[in-house]
Amino acid sequence: MDIIVTPSSNTPGVQDVDPWRHRLVVKVHAPPEGGKANEEVEELLSSVIGVKVQVLRGHTQRMKVVLLHTSPDKVRAALEHLK
């Protein structure tokens, strides 16, 4: 799954899909230092979707690719539940 991360956010959480970048927007409170933001991304998405999440690419960038250990249908259902 493609995401875009906003580190050091005052309002962490999973947002809508950015219509221009076609990526899910994830805001985290952690700063982008020492992998802290990546860890929070994994924890946040894991708690929202209910499965293990792993950052695969983009460890030092805002645009990342994450691996979700579940089916696309479960991901859609979890994200729809947020709305």
Average pLDDT over residues 30-44: 96
Q: Whole-prediction pTM value?
A: 0.91
**Which residues make Cβ contacts (< 8 Å) with residue 66, sequence separation at least 6?**
1, 3, 41, 42, 45, 53, 54, 55, 56
Domain holding 15, by residue range, is 2-82
Q: Please state the domain count of the chain.
A: 1
CATH number of the domain to which 41 belongs: 3.30.1200.10
pLDDT tens track for 50-70? 999 999 999 999 999 999 999
pLDDT in tens, 3-16: 999 999 999 999 99
